[in-house]
């Protein structure tokens, strides 16, 4: 039996990724007890400061659901697909898997298409976990502020190096593979 099992990095780690390859574009860490809802606007502002433009599309979970976040995205031309909490008092768009979206804030209202957009976010979240185990970072200390930042920075660097290597050798199937170098070595033997 495990005692004192600590899960996670103790900080809110936000990773903005592109929807095509799930490659990280911006990583931010916040103290774990912070309210994550207002952090979306700060995260998008940092993205703008870094790249000079806002993302064209955004998909988030229910933790980011607020009129302020939706209005911010509308103001800056971001197609935001922010899952909405269903309190039973609104007419919401419901997908086949039970995800709900406010029809006033989404451009596409077909539940099948919205489900596909939401699934891309889920794939990105799974990729973080795959990276952690694929690159053997489960052994890395990640329980403090600077450790969490280093952890996320190393995650971003290794992911981008893998993508660049896969692209350079003409293997787009390995762009997001944490075992890409192993596969390249096996083929080269």
Q: State residue 128's pLDDT score.
A: 57
Lowest mean pLDDT among 10-19, 164-173, 180-189: 180-189
> Residue 54 domain-assigned?
yes
The total domain count for the chain is: 1
> Residue 100 domain-assigned?
yes
> Residue 4 domain-assigned?
no
CB distance 179 to 162 below 8 Å: no
Q: State residue 5's pLDDT score.
A: 44
The shares of helix, strand and coil residues in the chain, as percent rounded to the nearest 5, are: 45, 15, 40
> Residue 48 domain-assigned?
yes
The residue among 15 and 119 whose pLDDT is bigger is 119
CB within 8 Å of 61: residues ≥ 6 apart: 83, 121
The residue among 173 and 35 whose pLDDT is bigger is 173
> Residue 108 domain-assigned?
yes
> Residue 72 domain-assigned?
yes
CB distance 120 to 104 below 8 Å: no
Quickly state the pLDDT bin for 73 (edges 50, 70, 90): very high
**pLDDT surpassing 60 at residue 21:** yes
> Residue 185 domain-assigned?
no
pLDDT mean across residues, the chain: 76
**80-104 per-position pLDDT tens digit:** 888 888 887 678 998 988 888 988 8
pTM of the model: 0.70
> Residue 182 domain-assigned?
no
DSSP category for residue 107: S
The residue among 124 and 50 whose pLDDT is bigger is 50
Q: Which helix (H) or strand (E) holds 146?
A: helix 145-168
Q: Structural domain of residue 155, as residue ranges? A: 11-176
């Amino acid at each position: 039996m495990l005692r004192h099992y600590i899960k996670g990095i103790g900080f809110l780690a936000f990773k903005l990724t592109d929807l095509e390859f799930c490659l990280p574009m911006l990583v931010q860490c916040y103290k774990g007890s912070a309210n994550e809802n207002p952090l979306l606007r700060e995260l998008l502002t940092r993205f703008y400061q870094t790249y000079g433009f806002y993302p064209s599309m955004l998909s988030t979970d229910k933790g980011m659901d607020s009129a302020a976040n939706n209005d911010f995205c509308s103001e800056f031309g971001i197609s935001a697909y922010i899952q909405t909490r269903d309190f039973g008092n609104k007419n919401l768009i419901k997908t086949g898997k039970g995800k709900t979206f406010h029809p006033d804030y989404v451009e596409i209202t077909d539940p099948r298409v919205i489900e596909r957009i939401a699934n891309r976010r889920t794939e990105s979240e799974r990729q973080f976990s795959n990276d952690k185990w694929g690159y053997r970072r489960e052994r890395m200390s990640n329980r403090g502020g600077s450790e969490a930042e280093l952890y996320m920075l190393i995650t971003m660097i290794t992911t981008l190096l893998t993508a660049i290597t896969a692209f350079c050798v003409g293997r787009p199937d390995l762009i997001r593979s944490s075992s890409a170098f192993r596969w390249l070595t096996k083929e080269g033997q």
